[in-house]
């Protein structure tokens, strides 16, 4: 746990443009934090469960995460009330966007209740990342609870390839149904995230582009990353984003477009021959974006991580359940972020793949 320091000693960007803290917050506005590289805290990703109903080969391979894998007991998970309390504190420090992740977040019972609690805070952009398996059933109630948008992981359109990648024989048609249900519910634009692994699903790059080109959804290709140790990552398995753009661009000419906001991880490209929309590429391996990273990650058990590739977390659950006042948690967060110096992707090499890292199923993507 980072040393608790007075708030006045933390690196704080005064007059930041983030939304004002909610009136119900029991502490004064603090302003946005800056870390040792001047990066503000703007985005919080909250893992609500470490469980998943898929066993994707790049995230929760079946030989490691079998059906009897010892996932966290429910008592160790943050409650919805604890998450909402932390959300108010993070918002006071400049957080504008909260993304709910997992595991598979829709496996957390009554998740719409948490969404409603976060929506009641006000001024937060609320999003969720899901594998889509339960989305057709959940989309409307999530929207009604206050969710703004959804991102869906979809690594292939070919049913055989997709079933092999999720490794639980789940059909692609049900994920596509979930995407359409989300759009119909108003969780738009739906973002489709495809992790590309060479020799496994790279043949699906063009079919995915063709399918979603006129759909109103935004397709994003993600370089296969070395998160955790269970997926057997090798640099040779990575299909660089530049290669992906060339593959799509040979059939559909593309032109670059600017970011939607500072710190956006996806590099955006539009189709030049029509108004068919855009695609994005997330190049964590070949074009590191550490210098603009504004994200913190709250794991399922309440540990705070300042990088997807972090080696240790800071136990906020202990403060919540130990009777700490909001002011103490505020100061702890200020201390943690002001000391942040993470830049894993900038120094990545074959050797760094062996460094101790947290698994994606626990920390959230």
Candidate CATH numbers 1.10.1200.10, 3.20.20.70, 1.10.10.10, 3.40.50.300; the one for domain 7-363: 3.20.20.70
pLDDT at residue number 16? 33
Q: Is 340 left (phi over 0), alpha (psi -120 to 50) or beta?
A: beta
**pLDDT class for 274, splitting at 50, 70, 90?**
confident
pTM of the model: 0.86
Q: Where along the chain do its domains lie?
A: 7-363
**pLDDT tens by residue, 155-165:** 999 999 999 99
The most confident of 5-9, 27-31, 124-128, 311-315, by mean pLDDT: 124-128
Distance CA 303, CA 14 (A): 27
**pLDDT tens by residue, 70-89:** 888 999 999 999 999 999 99
**pLDDT tens by residue, 84-137:** 999 999 999 999 999 999 999 999 999 999 999 999 999 999 999 999 999 999
**pLDDT class for 1, splitting at 50, 70, 90?**
very low
**pLDDT class for 262, splitting at 50, 70, 90?**
confident
- Name, in order, each residue with C-beta under 8 angstroms of 304's C-beta and a sequence gap of 6 or more: 296, 297, 298, 313, 314, 315, 316, 333, 336
**pLDDT class for 246, splitting at 50, 70, 90?**
very high
Burial of residue 326 (CB within 10 Å: 0-12, 13-18, 19+) is: middle
pLDDT at residue number 357? 54
Lowest-confidence region among 134-148, 177-191, 207-221, 349-363: 349-363
Give whole-number Cα distances, 112 to 82, 144, 175, 183, in Å.
Answer: 15, 8, 20, 17
pLDDT at residue number 310? 78
Mean pLDDT value of segment 342-351: 62
pLDDT at residue number 359? 61
């Amino acid at each position: 746990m980072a040393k608790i320091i007075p708030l006045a000693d933390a690196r704080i960007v005064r007059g930041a443009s983030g939304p004002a803290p909610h009136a119900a917050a029991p502490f004064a506005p603090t302003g946005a934090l800056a870390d040792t590289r001047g990066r503000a805290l703007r985005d919080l990703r909250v893992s609500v469960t470490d469980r998943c109903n898929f066993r994707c080969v790049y995230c929760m391979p079946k030989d490691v995460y079998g059906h009897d894998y010892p996932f966290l007991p429910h008592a160790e998970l943050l409650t919805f009330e604890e998450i909402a309390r932390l959300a108010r504190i993070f918002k006071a420090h400049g957080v504008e966007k909260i993304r709910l992740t997992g595991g598979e977040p829709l496996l957390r019972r009554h998740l719409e209740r948490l969404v409603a609690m976060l929506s009641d805070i006000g001024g937060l952009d609320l999003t969720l990342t899901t594998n889509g398996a339960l989305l057709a059933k959940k989309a409307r109630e999530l929207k009604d609870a206050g969710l703004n948008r959804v991102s869906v992981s979809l690594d292939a359109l070919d049913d055989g390839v997709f079933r092999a990648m999720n490794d639980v024989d789940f059909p692609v048609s049900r994920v596509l149904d979930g995407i359409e249900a989300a759009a119909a519910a108003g969780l738009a634009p739906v973002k489709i995230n495809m992790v590309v692994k060479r020799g496994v699903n790279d043949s699906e790059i063009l079919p995915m582009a063709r399918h979603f080109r006129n759909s109103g959804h935004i397709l994003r290709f993600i370089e296969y990353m070395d998160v955790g140790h269970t997926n057997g990552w090798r640099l040779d398995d990575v299909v660089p984003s530049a290669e992906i753009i060339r593959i799509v661009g040979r059939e559909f000419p593309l032109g670059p477009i600017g970011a939607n906001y500072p710190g956006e991880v996806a590099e955006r490209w539009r189709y030049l021959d029509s108004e068919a929309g855009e695609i994005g590429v997330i190049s964590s391996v070949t074009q590191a974006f550490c210098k603009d990273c504004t994200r913190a990650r709250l794991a399922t058990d309440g540990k705070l991580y300042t990088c997807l590739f972090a080696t240790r977390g800071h136990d906020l659950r202990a403060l919540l359940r130990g009777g700490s006042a909001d002011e103490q948690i505020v100061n702890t967060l200020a201390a943690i972020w002001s000391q942040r110096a993470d830049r894993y992707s900038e120094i990545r090499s074959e050797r760094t793949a062996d460094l101790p890292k947290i698994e994606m199923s626990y920390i959230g993507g």
